[in-house]
Structure 1
Amino acid sequence: MIPRTFPPAPAWSPDGHRIKSELDYGRGPEKTWVFGGLRIRDGQEVTMTAPSRSSVCYQQFLERVEQANPTGTIWIVTDNLSAHRSVSTRAWLEDHPRIHHAFIPVGACWLNLQEGWWRLFRKAALAGRSFCNPHDISYATELATAQLNAHARPWVWGRPAPPTRTRKRRYVYVL
């Protein structure tokens, strides 16, 4: 997520035509990345914002995931980002034997089942908002995480079953 500023909307000309201007927006020097994870058994999520997608930031996120899940084995299903496969991350994982990685095969992004959760999170935290700085993005992320965790339910993949319709009238034809 990058804080952006957009120019004001173009106005109308005196003869009633819209004045066309090229889209010109500025991106600030500070980028903010959102890391997120979902515990499917109860729907609780862990999120974190970071200034980069480096191995160090990813390891900080894994520490948060480990703190949120104090017992048992933790499986992280993730893509093949270099920060997820780096030497420092592998060394960090050796020191934390409860955490295991399962990588999505390259070219099979449709297997990433967390994309549905990301869609809901982006809608709750980021949709329709304008952010001036990374602190605004962090605040929106924390607020959306708290709201979604307050209403968390076990995560069920896929589309819900269509509702069953009861018949209003039942006709019996006798010949």
Structure 2
Amino acid sequence: MICLDEMGPQACKSYPGQRLVAPAGPKSERARQEIDYDRRDVAGYVFGALQPVTGAAFTAPYLGRTTANWLDFLGRVEAWVNPAVERVYAVLDNLSTHTAVDVLLFNLAHPRWEFVFQPKYAAYLNLIEPWWKVLRSLALKGRRFDAWAEIEQAVEQATAYWNAHKHPFIWGRRRRHRTTKRFGVAALPNVALI
């Protein structure tokens, strides 16, 4: 199974991060951040593919979200996926570029691919959506970009870092935040103690 989607649009600007501000004294002013209104370069899109079982990810930046760019990305994902895999289930949302005639022709030309469209208004069912949050944190958070090429390089480095430290991507909250479950009164007795 592969989850496919795009993150975007991403513009060249400052992406706020978390910085500690030391207070200057009892009558100090609030910490301020300069507002970044101008766009220094055109916005673009980052297309991505995620294999949740292995955690492997593939990203490719494009300047637009067009059917031609999506087809090019599908071709690159086809080359990225192991040829020994017999069936590729691609989980997609219902964007018009994902259901275009050329994309359906791609599906006919590549018989091992099967597109699975998630229900409308249910983006949380696609595992790549929470992964985008991780990638934004790795690539963009707390940085300022003046050109689209800098964003491309940051996303490429973040994807390489993710793939170097990949692990199966599990849907839901992380285990360390869950409280341990304790058995109540209705628990089965421990047979070994009897």
Q: TM-score, normalised by structure 2?
A: 0.70
Name which of structure 1's ranges 63-72 and 77-86 shifts more when overlaid on structure 2: 63-72
Shift of 1:48: 0.3
Name the structure 2 match of 1:43.
55
Which letter does structure 1 place at the counterpart of 2:51? R
Structure showing greater radius of gyration is: 1
Name the structure 2 match of 1:66.
78
Which letter does structure 2 place at the counterpart of 1:140? A
* 2:140 is the alignment partner of 1:131: no
Any conservation in 1 of the 2:41–2:148 contact (CA below 8 Å)?
no
CA distance in 2, matches of 1:80, 1:67: 24
Tell me the C-alpha RMSD between the 2 structures: 2.6
CA distance in 2, matches of 1:110, 1:154: 17
Name which of structure 1's ranges 139-148 and 109-118 shifts more when overlaid on structure 2: 109-118
Name the structure 1 match of 2:118.
104
CA distance in 1, matches of 2:54, 2:122: 27
The structure, 1 or 2, with the larger RCO (C-alpha pairs under 8 Å, 6+ apart) is 2
Shift of 1:64: 1.9
* 2:161 is the alignment partner of 1:147: yes
Shift of 1:163: 6.8
Please list every run of 5 or more consecutive structure 1 residues that lacks an aligned counterpart in the other structure. Answer: 6-15, 166-175
Q: Which runs of 4+ in 1 moved over 4 A?
A: none
After superposition, give the CA deviation of every residue in 1:103-127 in whole Å (9 maximum; x if it has no partner).
1111222323321111111100111
Q: Indicate the percent of aligned positions where both proteins have the same amino acid.
A: 37
Any conservation in 2 of the 1:32–1:134 contact (CA below 8 Å)?
yes
> Structure 1 residues 24, 142: CA separation in 2 closer, same or farther (over 3 Å shift)?
closer
CA distance in 2, matches of 1:118, 1:31: 17
Of 3, 12, 17, which residue of structure 1 is paired with 2:12?
3
Any conservation in 2 of the 1:80–1:106 contact (CA below 8 Å)?
yes
Any conservation in 2 of the 1:32–1:137 contact (CA below 8 Å)?
no
Which letter does structure 1 place at the counterpart of 2:59? T
Any conservation in 2 of the 1:37–1:47 contact (CA below 8 Å)?
yes
Any conservation in 2 of the 1:77–1:104 contact (CA below 8 Å)?
yes
Any conservation in 2 of the 1:46–1:64 contact (CA below 8 Å)?
no
Please list every run of 5 or more consecutive structure 2 residues that lacks an aligned counterpart in the other structure. Answer: 1-9, 15-27, 182-194
